[in-house]
Structure 1
Amino acid sequence: MSTTISRADRELGPGGPPRRSAPARLAARVATWPVLVQAGCLGFLALFLFVPLTTVLTRSVVDDGEFTTEALRALFSGYYVRPIVNTLVVASLVTVLSLLISAPLAFLLACTDIRPRRTLTALMLVPYALPAPFLAMVWVNLFISNGVLEQLVGTSFGVPVYGMGALVVVQSFHLFPLAVTALATAWAGLGADLPGAARVHGASARREFRSVSLPLVRPALVNAALLVFAASVAEFGTPLLLAGPVGYRVLTTEIYSQLTVFPINVALASAMALVLCCVTYTTLIGARRMLRDRNFVTVRAGALAARRFVALGRARTPVSVLAGGVLLALIALPLATGVLIALTDVWGRGLGPDNWTAHHFADVLWKSDRTRHAIVNVVVLGALAGFCAAALGFLCAHLAIRRGGRSGRLIDTLVFVPYVVPGVVLAIGLVLTFRRDSLLPLVATYTILLLAYVLRFLPVAYRTENAALAQVDERFEHASRVFGASWPRATFGIGARLTTAALAGAWVLVFVSVLKEVSASTLLWSPGHEVAPVLAIVLFRDGEVQQGVALNLVLAVVAIILTLVMQGFGGRDKTRRTK
């Protein structure tokens, strides 16, 4: 005899409560944790990201409540075209030079038996950990008349101190590790089957590399070029120090001038910010179209391709020594020069020990209330921004992966938006939206700085955690839900715990990025709310060179230590998981 069990009995069990009305069931289904969390994430991004960006767009075409294109016409007429052209030229040259440096280094690290690989990989990240304004300060003091090089060897070799050439070299040195990271991953994932097949069929090594290997890593080349180009376009501190003194104008410094030099022109600055966003967004779309409808698969289903490996043979020792020596020299030169500058008591009296003093470091670290508070501010804000970005990035990654569908793709797209929005543009939007006479006055507070940092580096945290969470089987969380765990407990107790390394890595990445951030901070800081990266530039431009360099050195040391610790932890964790 069969017993028919109604759907209500199956869901509620014997003796369960009476069936609820349709509106009550709908409300119970909507008011679930994933929906609430998704609404909260989208609301945060809408309020603090898209409203400010919309404000920037509006201010560029609306004046006193009337639509006008005066700012846009002025932007594309004569005088203001030059910063746009300069920005594109510098970013293009930096991208090309960075790829030329990074491509062979990435190949050596990923596909050869160069030694010691882990140490060289860690050293490769150090130039990016150094604050870009610090590198610009070192460049100026190294090659300026009566600078470090001239005092040591008697000549500066005619190296240009300011202008486009200096800007391209310094930015390339700072940004090439981004390209190395992207290309090394692609080279490591390139199996040996397709290149081997080409060699078996008679292709020379040069032809195989040009016709097989290089096309297969084209996505990585495009992505590396995109990373470097976008970072160069958005750079502010380096152009301010190396291009501004000779009148070489780029978009970021021109926007800063329009907002800080009388007469202030908010509409024109907003129009420039709009153009800056269009440049980065157009680059992204162009990169995607280049790779559309093309197949770059190198690892096929059913078999794991052997990793491509090139034995250097007798050349391994010379190549390893050369690569390690060049990296150490490139890292040691700016650091040693910076230490020498910061230790010099009176500039022009020589660089010997008799003219050394530690009082510049003492002033920066504990004697000067201004610099000490600025260091504390950036450390606290960096730690909080790292925690907030890691938490928000994890929630967004969890929603995008676990829920999927249109909502997942929407979150994945929206979180990436801050990456293509330069920091100076985001700062303008926050200032215009949350000014003192608005409903939410945040200008001249620590909160607006924290918001800017979280929004700017949210894509970094999101991508780090998205990749880690995608490797965690969602059946772990489903099993915990079956045994009665709530959604928050299953999500954070299982998903977050299994991706602890990614969460820690995201926190470190955001913290280190805050220690170097100047493009948004320059427009958002205020007296009493100073942050160390911007204060270092202010000290340097005001003639207190040693204090500015010393302050940047403190930030650089902290950033380098955290970067190397993260690299070592990541290497040990990868080795443990492999075993």
Structure 2
Amino acid sequence: MSAETDIDTGRRAGWRAPRFDWTIAIFVVLALLLVVLVASPLSRLVIESFSDPKTGAFTLQNFAAIFGRARYMTAYWHTIQLAAVTVALALFFALPMAFAVSRTDTPLRGLMYFGVIGAFIIPPFLGAIGWILLAGPNAGWLNQLWRAVTGFEGPLLNVFSMWGLAFVIAINVFPLIFIFATSAFDLISSEMEEAAAIHGAGPLRTTWLITLPLALPAVLGACMLVFLETIALYGTPALIAIPARYNVATTQLTTFFEYPAKVELAMAFSVPMVLITIVLLVIQRLMLRGGTVAVSGKGGSRQPMKIGGWKWVLLGHGAFVTLLAVVLPAGMLITTSFSVAWAKPPSFDNLTLANYVEILFEQQTVRDAMWNTIKVALSGATICTAMGFLLAYTVIRKLVPYAQILTFLTLAPVAVPGIVLAICFYAAYAGPPLSLYGSSLLIVIAFVTRFLPISFLSCSSGIRSLNPELEEAVRIHGGSRLRALTDVVAPVLKKSLLGVWILVFVICSRELSTAMFLSSYQNRVISILTLDLSEQGEYEMLAAMGVVLLAITTLVVVVGMRLLGRDFMLRRN
């Protein structure tokens, strides 16, 4: 039988050749967009760092200039020193809280969650402002109280020091360790702890010999992330390290953009930071992979450990950390926002609503910054969630060749500190031919690139849990891939997508490092305006602005909790 006869027979039977699914073209375009979005700016890091600024020829002179100057080497050393101290403090804050919540019968464990979520919601730069007002050596409220009670002239606390800087960063980043440690503790069966108790081991000895070693890989992995978060942070060092004359890598990077700008030196200075990040991320992944079997304990019972009087110690520790991380800085910001002069003691004469009237109705600059922040956060969260969802679907369902390359490109920004990524975008898109500097679009693009890994990983986990037969049923009945996505996959994963959107929105609204080199006077966001007002000493207006931002992000998080559960922001995949 000839081929023509086969075709005619098929037509008579009602058979039709399968139509080309044009939605595949959407995924191909999406893959190409990712290449442009990630590969182009990140490639500038390598190109600029090895290029002569005058001729464009290959050179190692930029690295020679960096490693040949003591000031730059001191900045690296101070950064590593600061990160190590911050990790130690964050570990002290987070580990007892995680243990109390996950493994023990400590009462009021909801207080611990309040402290962790509150520390996450408060942006690092606002937390730093709160502690500057509390522990400034001269006018800080705690030091004023110390002098009034004791009569001593010297300050009790000095936030403008390496230890003060590490403390302020640690109370903001300790939720990372809490999340990883709690996840590890939750997977440990209590049968081994019960066996130790039967053989006469007390709660302290059981915890030290059994519980902590099993959770150690996850805890060490979290410490790596805190270390990386510290070396990449800009806002808090800008507010505290610069006045303290404690030079760190991120504040040093800004000096390369003083006139005349030396972008090639900034890129060369950034390369070691990126290499450190890559190495620590690899170590962190190996640690977590190595700890999977040790902490799995699937099928075992998980009963709260009876720890006797130690539960009150853990409760006191959790309350103390919550006081330091949330109550004191937030309370200080609220008090300052209603004050005529923040350094004066509380009184009716010092009480005013003028700061809120000024930022909401009189100061166009502040209103513009608040609107820009909301606009950028909304756009960034929406685009990031949509792209992460589509890219995860493309990769998991293998809709394009070499899908693993897309995974690598999507996750690549994780290895680049936010301030370095901002410099890459500045070099790639600020000038001709696109000339995007001064537009909110450039900030949105940078935010999407920076936080796309969060959306991608969360969506990948959800898509893997879906049976592809659901989508195939749509296609059998004539639907396209896009129809399957909109009618089946997205509705099933709508809670996960909403959780990702809220998480990215909150992060975008508080992000400073990535916006640092990409904002101009016309498109400043609140985080950038905070630095300007701090330099001018306008703490009352700054505090009012910060309280409004906190109110907006808190409302978004509360809505998320009502819809998705109390701990939706503390989950990790």
Mark yes or no: TM-score above 0.5: yes
Aligned to 1:214: 212
1:577 corresponding residue in structure 2:
none
1:128-277 → structure 2 map (5 Å cutoff): 128-144=120-136, 145-154=138-147, 157-196=155-194, 208-259=206-257, 261-277=258-274
Partner of 2:571: none
Q: Deviations over 1:30-70 (max 9, x none)?
A: x6534x34433332222122211111211111112211111
1:358 has 2:353 as partner: yes
Residue 554 of structure 2 is aligned to residue 560 of structure 1: yes
Aligned to 1:543: 537
| Match of residue 467 from structure 1 | 461
Deviations 1:76-111 (A, max 9, x none): 122211111111111122122212221111111112
What is the Cα deviation at residue 380 of structure 1? 1.3
Deviation at 1:239, TM superposition (A): 0.3
Structure 2 CA distance for partners of 1:480 and 1:216, relative to 1, 3 Å: farther
Alignment correspondent of 1:516: 510
Structure 1 residue 198, shift from structure 2 partner: 5.8
90, 106, 124: which one aligns with 2:98: 106
Q: CA deviation at 1:12?
A: 7.1
Offset at residue 165 of structure 1 (A):
1.1
Native 8 Å contact 2:392 2:460 kept in 1: yes
State the one-letter code of the partner of 2:265.
L
- Kept in 2: contact 1:90–1:164 (CA 8 A): yes
Q: Does 1:73 align with 2:57?
A: no
AA in 2 matched with 1:113: D
Which stretch shows the higher mean deviation, 44-53 or 410-419? 410-419
For the residues of structure 2 that align with 1:211 and 1:12, how far apart are their CA atoms? 74
1:176-200 deviation per Cα after TM superposition (whole angstroms, max 9, x unaligned)? 0121112111111222344455666
| Matching residue's letter, 2:381 | G
Encode CA deviations 1:387-427: one digit per residue, 9 max, x unaligned: 11111111122233333998444333322222221111111
- Summarize the alignment of residues 165-564 of structure 1 with structure 2, pairs less than 5 Å apart: 165-196=163-194, 208-259=206-257, 261-290=258-287, 296-299=293-296, 304-312=299-307, 320=315, 323-324=318-319, 327-328=322-323, 330-346=325-341, 349-403=344-398, 407-438=402-433, 440-564=434-558
* Amino acid aligned to 1:70: Q
Please list every run of 5 or more consecutive structure 1 residues that lacks an aligned counterpart in the other structure. Answer: 1-5, 20-24, 575-579
Which has the larger displacement, 318-327 or 102-111? 318-327
One-letter amino acid matched to 2:43 = T
State the 1:519 CA deviation.
0.7
Whether 1:50 aligns to 2:39 is yes
User: Which sits farther off after the overlay, 62-71 or 318-327?
Assistant: 318-327
Share of identical aligned residues, percent? 26
1:87 aligns with 2:79: yes
Q: Which amino acid aligns with 1:495?
A: V
Residue 147 of structure 1 deviates from its aligned partner by 2.8
- Give TM-score scaled by structure 2 length: 0.89
Contact kept? 2:217, 2:291, Cα under 8 Å: no
SS of equivalent residue, structure 2 residue 437: coil
Give a deviation string over 1:336-360, Cα, whole Å, max 9, x none.
1112222221355543221222211
What's the Cα RMSD here?
3.0
Asked if 1:33 is matched to 2:23, the reply is yes
Supply the distance in 2 between the matched residues of 1:86 and 1:318 (Cα, whole angstroms).
34
Task: Give the letter for the 2:65 counterpart.
Answer: A
**Secondary structure at the counterpart of residue 403 of structure 1:** coil
* Whole-angstrom distance in 2 between the partners of 1:349 and 1:125: 31
Cα deviation for residue 376 of structure 1 reads: 0.8
Tell me how far 1:554 sits from its aligned partner.
Answer: 1.7
Change (3 A) 1:122 1:482: farther
Summarize the Cα distance change of 1:307–1:132 in structure 2 as closer, same or farther, 3 Å threshold.
same
Greater Cα offset, 144-153 or 551-560: 144-153
Say if 1:540 and 1:547, in contact at 8 Å, map to a contact too.
no
Structure-2 separation of matches of 1:472 and 1:117 = 34
Does the 8 Å CA contact 1:299/1:305 hold for their aligned counterparts? no
User: Offset of 1:512 from its aligned partner?
Assistant: 0.7
Aligned residues between the structures = 557
Q: CA deviation at 1:542?
A: 1.9
Judging changes above 3 Å, is the alpha-carbon distance between structure 1 residues 528 and 194 closer, same or farther for their aligned structure 2 residues? Answer: same
Q: 2: CA distance between counterparts of 1:146 and 1:122?
A: 29
Does structure 2 retain, via aligned residues, the 8 Å contact 1:122–1:564? no
| Cα distance per residue 1:439-498 (max 9 Å; x no partner) | x22121111011011111112222232333333333322223233322111122211111
**Unpaired runs of at least 5, structure 2:** 149-153, 569-573
Change (3 A) 1:560 1:418: same
